[in-house]
Amino acid sequence: MHLTRQHSQTLILIFALLLLLTAPVSSLSAGDYWMKGDELTDQGKYEEAIAQYDQAIALEPKAATAWCGKGLALYELNRFEEALAAFDQAIALNPNYAKAQYGRGLALYELGRHDEAIAAYDTALKIYPEYGYLIYHGKALAYSAKGDYTQAIPLFEKALSLQPTAYPGVWVEKGDAIAASGDSQGALAAYQQALALEPGNALAESKITAIQGNLTGAPPVTTATRQPAGTPVQEKTTLPATVPATTRTRAPLPVWIPGAGLLAAIGLALHRRD
């Protein structure tokens, strides 16, 4: 059967259209992937979240938000070295990214690098003062781990002045620092505050019993304040993944735009052959 030129051109256009309709075209952008990663992180699905962040990074390697989100997910999995590397990458792309600076402090604390953690927290606070509670709490833990209770106790007080009732465990941590400084009565008051906020708090109850025993002349009890690297802090006060970030990726183009462009190019080529 002989095909005319017009028939040939029509068949070529139909074939090109079929290719466009059947090709596996993804409409997801890097931003879509990292936002899905944030949702999964907030749901506690950290491995799945990391896979989404990796997809975002593959599409847009300079997406600081995706690197930061990956760092938070890795941190929650206790993969602190990898988390630190991800936070560092986010900061290299956006030095004023407070969330990544704070995450860097969390990872450094868990790695036992307390002075560096404090410096990272200070940087985050300068960029975004609204992180006040998180920063003061993080620095208080770092100074406690260093055995510097003179610095730690006022920082616990600053943190608790901003969030006095949200985290009973932080009152326990404050009590530990006060007890380690030698003030049993002050420690007892902090533990009792924790118990008032959360009746039945076993940790607060045990520390109250220990302190009262010391005050009444019972055998002394050691109150641990140092949290070894790799041990999660008692109160989880890390940022949710969905805290607004300072950078966003571009919105994806509608799928039909590249398809229309290809069809136009084919039509122009056929027209030039006439």
Give tens-digit pLDDT for 252-261.
Answer: 323 333 343 4
Interval 59-114: pLDDT, tens: 999 999 999 999 999 999 999 999 999 999 999 999 999 999 999 999 999 999 99
Confidence of residue 126 (pLDDT cuts 50, 70, 90): very high
* 13 found inside a domain: no
- As a whole number of angstroms, the distance between CA 188 and CA 186 comes to 5
- Please give the Cα distance from 68 to 46 (Å, whole number): 13
49 token code pair: 């979240």
pLDDT attached to residue 31: 87
Q: Reduced to 3 states, what is the DSSP secondary structure of residue 244?
A: coil
Per residue in 6-28, pLDDT (tens digit) is: 666 665 666 555 554 554 445 78
Contact (CB, 8 A) for 227 and 145:
yes
Do residues 249 and 56 lie in contact, with contact meaning Cβ atoms separated by under 8 Å?
Answer: yes
Domain range holding 48? 28-127
Instruction: State which of 127, 154, 180 marks the end of a domain.
Output: 127
Q: Which of 245, 49, 237 minimizes the C-alpha distance to 160?
A: 237
The CATH number linked to 62 is 1.25.40.10
The pTM of this model reads 0.72
Residue 249 lies in a domain: no
Distinct helix (H) and strand (E) counts, the chain: 13, 0
Phi-psi region of 255 (alpha: psi -120 to 50; beta: other; left: phi over 0): alpha
Average pLDDT, the chain: 81
Number of domains in the chain: 2
Is residue 39 in a domain?
A: yes
- Residues 58, 109 share a domain: yes
Q: Is residue 229 located within the same domain as residue 168? A: yes
Could you tell me if 174 and 160 are in contact, meaning their C-beta atoms sit under 8 angstroms apart? yes
Q: Are residues 181 and 132 in the same domain?
A: yes
Residue 13's SS3 state is: helix
The number of residues making up the chain comes to 274
Q: What angle do CA 129, 132, 137 make, to 5 degrees?
A: 150
